[in-house]
Structure 1
């Protein structure tokens, strides 16, 4: 079992908070359109930070735990790319000006980190108290995988999101942005701005992704410290990655299929682990190095196949996938 003291937790959280502060200060103090070069440099920086942490962690705690960290990091990073798809849709749906996209993304990342920290504590507690939670998490991932594969060519309906609809009922919403304000006065009446709805939509999406990603990473490690670190370092580079791959995302047409396969595989791994521990040692387990290899192979095949397919037919465009069928628009229903 991994032994991590208060000092290690404090240093890790301190580093993450410091990196988040840098991101936040950049977004709020200097709102601007992020160029390809700037996004590329920051993306490389965050990836190198995550790798450096993994190497130091592996050298100090052993490469069994080091491998679990890298497997968890890759799982979370791949799921985060799908998260970016939805961020793009939200930005497009609400026509967020370029200069505000920076701060919106930073808010989304901070909120995602907070939600995942809560679910990590909850998930670890449940797994320690009730071993059958491995089966529950496994079935949840398999169900998610099936739904994602069934609706792999669809986009989530942001306006139909329960959280967004609730916000619209609570507050009148202005048609235009008012600088970087969440609320403004229009004709003497206090109204919410579209930027407020954007943050509400991203919060709802973050909650949904946290519900999926935490069981997924618990499939490769049951150590809360590794789960937290893998999530944190995967999320930290999202802001820069958004601007770096925004154009490339449209070309990853098989990403949803790949993620569905990964989630289904990890779901099976969780159920096998429960069977091995609670039913019979003769039930095989899937070792973490094998899981890491399977995940890397799936992502590699998905990326290469997507780029080849879109090169052959540039009209093909990727979709982030959805967990439920998109409702027909009102005009379609009338027809």
Structure 2
């Protein structure tokens, strides 16, 4: 039992295990009870489930406050709690951009809505492990070389400025090297097989049953690749807020856990958040710049409550301005002018000569 109270990366082992238990329980409840059968999720259900996940994340922040306060005192506990909420809101806002990309991926591979939720769930399980690896490496580097934070900060400022002036460039799935590699070196079916990622099919020459991937698996791979791209921005952003590994990881995962629930509501109205990307760009610039301001101007840490207020204000402003500016706008078709049949032809082109 003594092992449970030893510190690992600045936080007792029992608190890490408790968080892992919460994530595992939520995932099992979601997959095994709420969505035992594959079905299309409506907007109302999506919003209710998303509100449930956000409530869990906010309540977890209160638990973080009591645990960190007990370990480091009132002032430090409050500062780390504010850092958790700031990181959570940033990651949640950045995930709205993910929704557009995920919607594009599902459209490209002609994945029906009733199978999308399960694919998202398994994708998020993979993301939890990948983010853990990235954050673990990042924490080790920052602990050994603290000056790396300045590189993170400069990268965030550069990325934010680039986002402000960059146009809308859709993800090029057709020429994605990983998708091409899988489709050329693995057997991939031209059609879906319900919610299965792999199925056994008969070889065209020998008639022998062999394993083959489905378009749902290809979609899952591309979704995880897209998340790695987004993580390049979000992980440094959180490290710029706090170097506490537990706060960095839990805020990321809590925001991502509710993404699959929020997806179905946002996917139907993602075009209404067009101007949010500019607010997110300003958030990245602010988070990066405050490190230089704190060290070279203030000579002390940037006030965490002010940081949370500026971050929340920018994100809220971006959301409300987007909704006001796009009122009455019709939902665009993506890819433009394509239907399910056209999307399926994309898959057939990728898997041409490889499926039976």
Q: What corresponds to 2:108 in structure 1?
A: 93
**How big is the shift at 1:229?**
1.2
Q: What corresponds to 1:333 in structure 2?
A: none
**How big is the shift at 1:300?**
1.3
Q: When the two structures are superposed, what TM-score results if normalisation uses the length of structure 1?
A: 0.85
Contact 1:68 1:226 in 2 (8 A): yes
Q: For residues 231 and 51 of structure 1, do their structure 2 counterparts lie closer, same or farther at Cα, with a shift above 3 Å needed?
A: same
Larger Rg: 2
Contact 1:75 1:295 in 2 (8 A): yes
The range that moved more, 205-214 or 283-292, is 283-292
Please state if 1:227 is matched with 2:243.
Answer: no
The counterpart of 2:320, out of the listed 301, 304, 321, is 304
In 1, the alpha carbon distance for the partners of 2:288 and 2:175 equals: 29
Q: What corresponds to 1:104 in structure 2?
A: 119
Q: For 1:30-70, what per-residue CA distance to the aligned partner results, in whole angstroms no more than 9, with x for missing partners?
A: 11111223222211111111111112322442321111111
User: Which sections of structure 2, spanning at least 5 residues, go unmatched?
Assistant: 1-6, 70-76, 335-356
In 2, the alpha carbon distance for the partners of 1:211 and 1:19 equals: 26
The range that moved more, 41-50 or 184-193, is 184-193
In 2, the alpha carbon distance for the partners of 1:271 and 1:179 equals: 52
Q: How many residues align?
A: 313
In 1, the alpha carbon distance for the partners of 2:35 and 2:65 equals: 36
The range that moved more, 27-36 or 248-257, is 27-36
Please state if 1:212 is matched with 2:214.
Answer: no
Q: For 1:113-142, what per-residue CA distance to the aligned partner results, in whole angstroms no more than 9, with x for missing partners?
A: 111111111111111101221122122222
The counterpart of 2:140, out of the listed 105, 125, 133, is 125
Residue correspondence of structure 1 range 158-307 to structure 2 within 5 A:
158-184=173-199, 185=201, 187=204, 188=207, 191-272=212-293, 276=295, 283=299, 285-307=301-323
**How big is the shift at 1:232?**
1.4
Q: When the two structures are superposed, what TM-score results if normalisation uses the length of structure 2?
A: 0.81
**How big is the shift at 1:251?**
0.5
In 2, the alpha carbon distance for the partners of 1:144 and 1:318 equals: 28
Please state if 1:65 is matched with 2:80.
Answer: yes
Q: For residues 132 and 318 of structure 1, do their structure 2 counterparts lie closer, same or farther at Cα, with a shift above 3 Å needed?
A: farther
Q: What corresponds to 1:75 in structure 2?
A: 90
SS in 2 for 1:15: helix
**How big is the shift at 1:211?**
2.1
Q: For 1:225-265, what per-residue CA distance to the aligned partner results, in whole angstroms no more than 9, with x for missing partners?
A: 11111111111111110112222211101122122111122
SS in 1 for 2:253: helix
Please state if 1:18 is matched with 2:33.
Answer: no
- The CA RMSD over aligned residues, in Å, is 2.5
In 2, the alpha carbon distance for the partners of 1:22 and 1:267 equals: 38
Q: For residues 126 and 254 of structure 1, do their structure 2 counterparts lie closer, same or farther at Cα, with a shift above 3 Å needed?
A: same
SS in 1 for 2:280: helix
**How big is the shift at 1:18?**
1.2
User: Which sections of structure 1, spanning at least 5 residues, go unmatched?
Assistant: 320-335
Contact 1:152 1:257 in 2 (8 A): no
Contact 2:105 2:223 in 1 (8 A): yes
In 2, the alpha carbon distance for the partners of 1:12 and 1:127 equals: 23
